Amino acid sequence: MIPIYASVAAFARTRSRPERGRTKARLGLRPYGRALLLVQSLATFFVAALLLFIGFTDMAGAQTSSSGPSAGRSLKLVAFGDSLSAGYNLAASAAFPAVLEQALRQKGLAVEIVNAGVSGDTTQGGLERLDWSVPDGTDGVVLELGANDALRGVDPSVTRKNLEAIVARLTERKIPVLLAGMYAPRNLGEDYAKRFDAIYPELAKQYGLVLYPFFLEGIAGDRALNQADGLHPTADGVKVIVRTILPTVERFIATLPLRS
């Protein structure tokens, strides 16, 4: 896949007055009496100001704690894809969903990402397992499918139909989608590549999705960032993928509706 995707990598780069009596009494006070009265007055003022400040701080804190995605519960995302999401030949902690979750948490976002990647899966396989792979209560899906379709030379019209069905079904369930795109290997010909590459931006425009154009951006064709089979990223390769896609994922999370 490294030789196959080397050309793809090149393509990807191209907000009162006082009472009188009291006044007379105070005029008769000795100097030290006046000083004591002044101290008492200042102390009373200070205590009142302190109580007011504490009350304001508590109220502001309560308002802050009741807003934002990290208040109350974590956002639940599903990484729905193939071996690129599953973390083929990698420790679970080094797979894309786990590394992305950690990166988001380091940004202060309370997010849980379920790894729903299946090695070898095509868009057809993803469509068939969609309902049980993406449970109710999911806040958003990172959809990463299509690479195996391209490697097998599946007709782009079939790939498009399957991806559109997945997006439509998730839309019906009111689950937002971040669409991670893929480019076809250039050895499949110009016509095939043109038809396949157009699937992702066209679906994103049609359904108003957040689009990340090329999931393998930054690692395609780089032997140091891919395993020996040339098909799957190393642990370092996954880190590059996460670092590159992270701003898009943050933008996607900012669009997610708050659920009770």
What integer pLDDT is reported at residue 63 of this predicted model? 38
- Is the predicted pLDDT of residue 45 greater than 80, yes or no? no
Q: What is the pLDDT of residue 27?
A: 39
**Is the pLDDT confidence value at 250 over 90?**
yes
For 209-229, what is the mean pLDDT? 96
Q: What is the pLDDT of residues 28-41, one digit of tens each?
A: 444 445 544 554 55
How is the chain classified by DSSP, letter by letter?
-HHHHHHHHHHHH---PPPHHHHHHHHT--HHHHHHHHHHHHHHHHHHHHHHHHHHHHHHHHHHHTSSTTSSS-EEEEEEESHHHHTTTS-GGGSHHHHHHHHHHHTT--EEEEEEE-TT--HHHHHHHHHHHS-TT--EEEEE--HHHHHHT--HHHHHHHHHHHHHHHHHTT--EEEE-----GGG-HHHHHHHHHHHHHHHHHHT-EEES-TTTTTTT-GGGB-TTSSSB-HHHHHHHHHHHHHHHHHHHHHSPP--
Q: What is the pLDDT of residue 182?
A: 98
3-class secondary structure per residue, 158-223: HHHHHHHHHHHHHHHCCCCEEEECCCCCHHHCHHHHHHHHHHHHHHHHHHCCEEECCCCCCCCCCH
Please tell me the predicted confidence (pLDDT) of residue 15. 43
User: Which residues are annotated as catalytic?
Assistant: 83, 229, 232
What does the alpha-carbon distance between residue 227 and residue 52 come to, in Å, rounded to a whole number?
62
Per residue in 223-244, pLDDT tens?
999 999 999 999 999 999 999 9
In sign, the C-alpha dihedral spanning 42, 46, 47, 52 is positive
pLDDT of residue 4: 59
What pLDDT sits at residue 258?
74
Kindly indicate the confidence band of residue 119, based on its pLDDT and cuts at 50, 70 and 90: very high
Distance between CA 206 and CA 217 in Å, rounded? 23
Q: What is the mean pLDDT of residues 132-145?
A: 97
Please state, in angstroms and as integers, the Cα–Cα distance from residue 254 to each residue in 109, 181, 247, following that order. Answer: 10, 20, 11
Identify the pLDDT of residue 257. 86
Q: What is the pLDDT of residue 73?
A: 73
Where does the pLDDT of residue 170 fall: very low under 50, low under 70, confident under 90, or very high at 90 and above? very high
| Per-residue confidence (pLDDT) for residue 8, from 0 to 100 | 67
